[in-house]
Structure 1
Amino acid sequence: MFTGLSAFPLTPMNEQGIQDNELMYLVEHLASAGVDSIGVLGSTGSYAYLSQEERARVALLSVESAASVPVVVGIGALRTRDVLANAENAQKAGASGVLLAPVSYQKLTDNEVFDLYETVCRSLSVPLCVYDNPGTTHFEFSDELHGRIAQLPCVRSIKIPPVVNDLEGARERVARLRKLIPNDVTIGISGDPAAATGLIAGCDAWYSVVGGLFPKQALAITQAAQSGDVQRACALSDALEPLWGLYRAHGGSLRVAATIAEITGMVTQPCLPQPLTSLQGVDRERVEQIVEQLRLE
C-alpha cells in the first residue's frame, strides 16, 4: 500500500462545515484515475483545523468514495489521547492505514516522539506511516530516531521531506535511512518538485499534493521513475516547473492547490478553513494562466 502514487486531496470546507459532496467527488476522481492510495487529512487536507467529529466524517466519506483503493487517514493531534481517538475513528471507518505526524506546540524531545509512536502502535490493527514534516510540526527527525520508530510493529512507511534536487545527493540520503530501517518499511517522498528525483533515488512512494488534483500527470511521473525511465520522469517533472514555481512563491503547496481547485470548479470558494485563504488578485490570475498554459486536467 505504501508504494507508488499516494494522492492527497484537499478537504473542501467553509465555516459551516465540510463540503461532503465535493470531498466525495475529489476522492472518486482519484480512485477512478487508478492511484495506488489516497491520503486524506494530511497537511493538504487541513487536518489540524478540524474537530475530531469532522475528521471522523472525512475518514468515513473517503473510504466510502474510494471503492477498492486504499485510504490512509491522518491522525495527528497535539495530545496523545486525541491521536488515539482519531486512530480509533479511522479504523472504524475502514481506513487501510494511518499517517501520524508529531504535532506540537511545546517542542518535543526524541523520547517523547518515540513514546507517541509506541503508544499509538499498541492501539492499531492497520499499518502506520510516519509523517516527517518539520515545516509544519517544527520537529526534526534524526535518521537514528527514524530507525528506532521503524522497528515498531505497525510502522510500514516513512514519509520524508523533500530531498535535494541532486540525484547523487538524494541517493545518499535515501541510502543512509535505508540502512537503519527494516526491509518491509518503505520510504516515501513528499514535496512535489523533488518527487521525480526522490523516486529515481530509490524512494518507494510519492505522497503527492498535485496527485490529489491531477492524478494522471502524477501517475505518469511515478510510473516513469519507477520503471527506470529517468529521462522521461525528469522531463515530465520539469514541464511542471511553472507550478513548482508557484509553490515556492507562496510558501508551499496548500494555497496554490486550493486556488487551482477553486478556479477549475473542483470545489466552491472558499474551500480552506479561516484564517487561511486561497490566492486572490494578481496571484490568482497568475495561477489561472499557468493552469491554462500547462493544460492540467
Structure 2
Amino acid sequence: MFCGLSAFPLTPVNETGINEKAFVTLIQRLVAAGVDSIGALGSTGNYAYLNREERLRVLRLAVHSSEGIPVMTSISAIRTSEVLRLAEDAQRAGASAVLLAPVSYQALTNEEVYSLYEQVTSSLSIPLCVYDNPGTTHFHFSDELHGRIAELSNVRSIKIPGVPSDPEAAKARIRKLRTAIPPHVTIGVSGDSSAVTGLDAGCEVWYSVLGGLFPRACQKMTRLAQSGFAEEAKQLSALLEPIWTLFHLYGSLRVVSAAEIIGLISSPSLPLPLQPLNQSAREHLKFILKDLQSTETFCRPFG
C-alpha cells in the first residue's frame, strides 16, 4: 500500500464535536477518485486534538467508508504507553497500517526515538510508516537513525518532509537516504509543493494534504510523475502554486479547513485554540478553490 497517492483528509471538528457526516463525505471523494491509500488522523486529521475514543471513532468511520482502499492511521502520542494503546485500537478497527511520529514535550534523544519505534513494532501485526515531521515534532532524524529504525520488523515506509526544489539536489537527497534503508522500505514525500519533484527524484509515494480534498487532481499528478511524464506533472503542480503559497503562509491545515467555501464541510471545522483563515485570506482562497474544483471535475485517472 506504500506507493502512489496516499490522501490525508481533514477531520472536521469543533467544540461541539466531530462532523462525522462531512468526514465520511471526504472519504467518499477519495474512494471515487481511486486513491491508492487513505491517511486518516494525520496532522491534517487533527489527531493531536482528539482523545482516544474520538480517534477510534474517526478511524472506524474511515475504514467502514473506504470500500477496501487501505487506511493508515496515526498512533502518535506523547507517552509510549498511549502509543501502544492506540496501536492496539488501530489493529482491532481494521487499519491497514499505522503512522508514527516521535511527538514529545521534552526534546527526545536518538536512543529515545529508536526505543519508541522498537517497542511499538515489537507488538504490531500491521505495517508502520515512520513520520519524519520536524516542523511539528522538532526532532530531526539522521539517515543513520532512519536506517536503524527501518530494520525493525513491520517498518515499511518513511514519510519525509519536502525535498529540495532543485531536481538534482532532490535526487541526491533520495539516493542518500535510499542507501541507508533496506529496499523493502519505501520513501514517501510530504510537503505538497515539492511532491512532483520528490516523485521524479525516486519517492514511491506522495503523502498528500491536498489529495485529501482534491484527490483527482493529485492522483493525476502522481500518475504522470510516476509514468515518466515529469514535465506534464510539473506543469500541473505549477498551476497550483497559489495554493502552495497559502500553505506556506498559513499552514496547510488552516487552508484545507476552509473547504466550506466550496460546500464540502461546514464552519467552524477546527478545534480551539486554532483559528480559521482571516477574511482577506479567505477571499483569496475562494477563487483558488473554485478554480481547483473545476480542475478536479475534469481530471480523470491517467493511463
| TM-score with structure 1 setting the length | 0.98
Partner in structure 1 of residue 143 of structure 2: 143
Cα distance in 2 for residues equivalent to 1:262 and 1:82: 33
Unpaired runs of 5+ residues, structure 1, are none
Cα distance in 1 for residues equivalent to 2:291 and 2:62: 31
Q: Deviations over 1:21-67 (max 9, x none)?
A: 11111111101110000001111001111101100111111000001
CA-CA distance at 1:278 after TM superposition: 1.8
Partner in structure 1 of residue 275 of structure 2: 277
Cα distance in 1 for residues equivalent to 2:129 and 2:165: 24
Deviates more, 1:100-109 or 1:273-282: 273-282
What letter matches 1:274 in structure 2?
L
Residue 289 in structure 1 maps to residue 282 in structure 2: no
Cα distance in 2 for residues equivalent to 1:99 and 1:282: 35
Q: Deviations over 1:172-228 (max 9, x none)?
A: 000001001111000000000000000000000000001000001100110000001
Q: Tell me which stretches of 4 or more aligned residues in structure 1 moved more than 6 Å.
A: none
- What are the equivalent positions in structure 2 for 1:256-275 lying under 5 Å apart? 256-259=255-258, 261-275=259-273
Cα distance in 1 for residues equivalent to 2:264 and 2:103: 29
> Percent of counterpart pairs with the same letter?
59
CA-CA distance at 1:123 after TM superposition: 1.4
Cα distance in 2 for residues equivalent to 1:51 and 1:296: 36
Contact kept? 1:214, 1:296, Cα under 8 Å: no
Partner in structure 1 of residue 195 of structure 2: 195
What letter matches 1:271 in structure 2?
S
Cα distance in 2 for residues equivalent to 1:176 and 1:56: 37
Partner in structure 2 of residue 109 of structure 1: 109
RMSD (Å), alpha carbons: 0.9
Cα distance in 2 for residues equivalent to 1:168 and 1:248: 23
Deviates more, 1:74-83 or 1:241-250: 241-250
CA-CA distance at 1:152 after TM superposition: 0.3
The 3-state SS of whatever aligns with 2:147 is helix
Cα distance in 2 for residues equivalent to 1:272 and 1:172: 38
What letter matches 1:253 in structure 2?
S
What letter matches 1:15 in structure 2?
E
| TM-score with structure 2 setting the length | 0.96
The 3-state SS of whatever aligns with 2:180 is coil
Contact kept? 2:262, 2:290, Cα under 8 Å: no
Unpaired runs of 5+ residues, structure 2, are 297-303
Cα distance in 2 for residues equivalent to 1:103 and 1:59: 20
Cα distance in 2 for residues equivalent to 1:31 and 1:152: 31
Cα distance in 2 for residues equivalent to 1:199 and 1:293: 25
Call closer, same or farther: CA 1:293–1:34 in 2, change over 3 Å. Answer: closer
CA-CA distance at 1:91 after TM superposition: 0.8
Partner in structure 1 of residue 127 of structure 2: 127
